[in-house]
Chain A
Amino acid sequence: MTPAHDPIDDHIRRAFLAVELRDEVRDDLLRPEPRRRGRLLAPLLLAAVTLLTLTLAALPSDSPTWNVLLAGLRGPVAADAIPLDPLDRWIPAGSAVEVLEFGLLGTSSLGVQRLDQTGPVGEIAVLDPTGWGRGPTGYVRLARVDGPLRIVAIPPDPDRDAGITLIDGERRYIEYLATDADRSLIRIERDVLTSWSVLPTLEQLQQHWAGPFTSLRSTVEVPRREGIRPRDVLCPYDADSGMPLGCSRQSGQRAENGIVVSAIVDGGLDLSGRALRFATELPDDRFGLSVPSTSGAQPGDIVQLIDGDGLALDEVEVVVALKGRVRVSLTRFDVPRWVRVPGLHAELVAASATHIVDARLFEPDVPWLTQPPYELVAVGTDRVLSLGTATREDDVDTWSRTFSVARPLPPGWRPLHYRVVSPDGDAVRLNLITRTEAPLGPAVLERDGTSLAPVEILKATTFGTLVRVARSDLDAVLRADGGPGTEIVGTSD
């Protein structure tokens, strides 16, 4: 029974209440979200544009009114303008675009999840034409390559004068196409864009990312705008060759204008004179590389996975997407990729000469299976292999549990991670990291809408789902669990 009043409680309560969120962080988070406002404004804007279009269409093509309006819309660059569909004024999905600037951290509310390159690119995934813009911590600026001109949509940025204030005060290069509370769409000549005063040049942007390191242990201040945060896992790689140089945790020191990064690269590679760039760990159990996106690889490609230490692991299937369904490939570090972090559920602690395998698993994966027998399963890229009955060892720490088995792994075969299951007749019980809001009872594990295996939901929380699944379906279930597009869909009425 909790005492009615314990003097220590007052001390503890006072300590917690002494913690205050910094004003600038609070204000940044409370800044109106463009997408939500855009949702409200978009129908109004659409209605206005449609009304204008219908009005113009009703006019005779040679009427004075039409000519005046057309001249007004085209402006001084009308001769070179590319006719635009009034309903296609925002950059649509799949457009050929040029990334002018980015500093966007992944958030689920943005249309463009992350852009890893500035400069010319082919088609990129602009997922939601109304949803792009400024996020809680970043921004992105795109130009659509459109013949001799570029269409630039500009999210307002209170920290930079990103309005339509242009070089040399020569407004004749700019044409407003539309504007609302969140952004303006303009048409601008290509040559002008490259020297636009509010946009840094590509060379300037590169300097933020790449700098000559002079030793294996080097410190550099990465500007805050690059989105690297304290304790991010950084994986330096050669900016020119794309060669991975290992991974390291960075120091957690915030500086006035960014973060001081201290990269210690394991592997003994000399970084002197190299231009470096960094990969950073991202939400959703994946990490991303800020690299040129010129690959034509397709989802489902089998590629070589390099883990956080720069070690080559088994070949794996490319994960198609983070939340943003960005097309990725994975052949070297010179192409963008979003991959699952290997060893998500366990790490290989030791592999002795007697082939004893210990696997440490994360706590929430285990408590629901607190009663033995346990069975350890190794999940590789080519197969799922049962290692037989597992013995639970002493708890390693608050969060982890250790299991051991005596069955050896096949020579040369290294699993990506381990899972613990509990035999249950012809089925097994196991904890999936895939979450569900489906009711307890029969359900189906699906991936991208395709049914993979029937499951029975035994328990569901925000941290995972305890299910019963036929042993014959275990392979398919474990391969899909936690991956993009994987869902547990209820089938009970």
Chain B
Amino acid sequence: MIRDALGIGIASGAYALSFGAISTAAGLSLLQTCALSLLMFTGASQFALVGVVGAGGSVWAGAATAALLGSRNALYGLRLSSLLDARGWRRALAAHVVIDETTAMAIARESVPESRLAFWATGLAVFTLWNLGTLIGALATHALPDPKVLGFDAAPPAAFLALLAPRLRAREPMAIALAAGLVALVCLPFVPAGVPLLIVALLVALFGVLRSRT
């Protein structure tokens, strides 16, 4: 189990290298980049914030998108709360590492003690290596003269695609993804940068609520 946790930690450390690089190329300082990994610590939201800023959007549009993407962590917390049964400072600490990886590892276990160990071991491994990877990626990119020459501006969409792909295993999410992409492009010329994302989020929320009523 510890080996699994380390494996996931190393994979996310590699992925954090690209976060550090993309964030720096988007114009965030070394401290801001590291603060995101230390304090936000949820990959898709971090990529979204720096992606919106890098594309010329306001940091507030990026922050709103990051929070919307972070909403799924609340559902993970719901699944984990009875399993972890953490109270007081332990709950405050556990909350920080409620992310895709720790949830997947914890709910895959047979017994409660194993689930808890998997949760904390994965959380610790991913947190450590995610932050280390971010720092190295950011420092390496700071040393480069012009990130755009190296194609760094083409990296964020690829990162979003890699995060999206595992969620597209059924027909409905595929259709939603295509519709969301189209709607965002249609809105884009007419509204401030970053706002197409909020329009898409609003529409998909409406769709979800209306569909679940029937």
Q: Note whether A and B form a binding pair.
A: no
Listed in ascending order, the chain B residues whose CB lies under 8 Å from chain A are none
Listed in ascending order, the chain A residues whose CB lies under 8 Å from chain B are none
